[in-house]
Structure 1
């Protein structure tokens, strides 16, 4: 009996060892991809879905995600090899190119195709009209970034000169804009979700308009990497895009409540109900780029917005900074 018991123990230890080795080998076999996202936002729901549903792991990838809080910091991470892939506005690739980079940053897949910010008023407005912004203090986004440029584009569309018709504040760091408004700065503010909806729920502000609906389609947030990284890791990047494509389709096919429940761990300060409202808002205005292809029309719209904001340093052709081959391969397969 004692011998039998001893043999069972030995077999159990051996089985556990094999399982441990298998688990380690499985983890080690995954290829690490370091992704730097410009901010943490429900606007990027498909990316979090790809992680939570295991779509990246299905492709043999171990995605390490970090939030870098700002376009300049995100691009610095990629250019200094602190990250392999950036999720950031396409305008940043133009800035890098215009500085004479010998290893340009290439846009290879689009995550969102509209602006993701909303106009929030400090006071409740029953019948909002853009004319109401004239003479107000407007807390805008960082100068040179897509939110700020789209914001100014929309204001001009409604006959408002952002530098003459209102008191425009642009000197507050991206990560502190919401806190500044909550502390009493500004009559209106341009905010991402879920912050805008949280403010509305807490009575700190009221959503009165969507910059995404007003500005039309634009490559607002894309995945990009240095040309040298794409050349050396094309197969890996295709797997990365394939996982994201699955996530985009999953988001398209599932309701807001289901999506909110899945991504809620990324937004510990927001409840599922609020997140569902935000997801539904983004889905209804077509923010998620389900086919992930950055179009030439979208690129030209981006340049128009940058030019009108006085921020276009170089009229860069679509083919120079956009690679659609990877997305096309994924869709074809």
Structure 2
């Protein structure tokens, strides 16, 4: 019996040592700044909720910085290691002669995330119906506004001539302005658009995402110096993201909604599921982290159309696709 007990103790020592080593492994801390909190970013919250980042040895600290300018300030000042924000911000920073530019290394969303919402139900909607109306648009210079104007022009509408375009309302107050009576039509993100439908305040009649084509709408970027000095961390981050992107594609919507619900305390789970389905079905979620070259130049065409492109920037200058390619090929 003593021998048997001794053998059991000896056999258990390697397991105990292995467990202790695993528990003692140091996690790499990553400060992540997101431009806003949105179901539009579902794969990111899945990566956090399902432990994909942790399994890569990353302890991700998520902060919502509420706006492109503040998000880029956090990244460039060192307040964040990685930023989730519109790809256009990297072009703005680069045009200002940044010594340590922001490099886009992974894509999260590949369409615009806003919807056209009318105050009254509209049967057989045609974009021509917007002419002569008051349109409550997004903040000038941001991707929603640029995509909005791009789509209007593609539909034969001159935004600054054919309708009354309101762009002087802060992003956070656009929904409440429409609810209080401003505008005949409004450009809204989810879940506000769906909530307005449920409350009878507005009606979703079209999608700017389906109308504008594929574009690197929301991407992950980091400073060039961080990428050069800590490429392994960026690679681990991208691998976890890719797992989340595949998980979102293959799981039932209800499972996705349950997974990310803790990030949206004020939104009912059934609404989260409905919004996720809407974004998924219109192809908003990128299936891989790869930011495609044609989408990069389509983004700049949209910026140029809006008069916001400081200078055309080569794909290779601000996009690193090496990591995404490597992970997809694994």
- By the TM > 0.5 criterion, same fold? yes
The structure 1 residue matched to 2:225, chosen from 221, 224, 228, is: 228
Any idea what SS the aligned residue of 1:312 has?
coil
Counterpart in 2 of 1:285?
A: 282
1:105 aligns with 2:72: no
Counterpart in 2 of 1:119?
A: 116
1:100-156 Cα distance to aligned partner (Å, 9 max, x none): 111110000000111111011111112211111111111111111111100000000
Contact between 1:78 and 1:85, CA under 8 Å: does it hold in 2? Answer: yes
1:58 aligns with 2:89: no
Counterpart in 2 of 1:194?
A: 191
Distance 2:182 2:37 in 1: 23
1:95 aligns with 2:92: yes
Q: CA RMSD in A?
A: 1.7
1:316 aligns with 2:313: yes
- Once the two structures are superposed, the pairs formed by residues 37-76 of structure 1 within 5 Å of their partners are 37-76=34-73
Normalising by the residue count of structure 1, what TM-score does the alignment of the two structures yield?
A: 0.91
1:34 aligns with 2:35: no
Unmatched 5+ residue regions in structure 2?
Answer: 1-15
The total of aligned residue pairs comes to 313
Contact between 1:257 and 1:276, CA under 8 Å: does it hold in 2? Answer: yes
Distance 2:299 2:24 in 1: 40
The Cα of 1:183 is off from its aligned counterpart by 2.0
Contact between 1:69 and 1:174, CA under 8 Å: does it hold in 2? Answer: no
The Cα of 1:276 is off from its aligned counterpart by 1.2
Contact between 1:198 and 1:270, CA under 8 Å: does it hold in 2? Answer: no
Distance 1:57 1:309 in 2: 41
Distance 1:91 1:26 in 2: 41
1:299 aligns with 2:304: no
Distance 1:232 1:177 in 2: 41
Distance 1:274 1:264 in 2: 10
Normalising by the residue count of structure 2, what TM-score does the alignment of the two structures yield?
A: 0.92
Counterpart in 2 of 1:10?
A: none
Distance 1:126 1:267 in 2: 33
Distance 2:30 2:196 in 1: 35
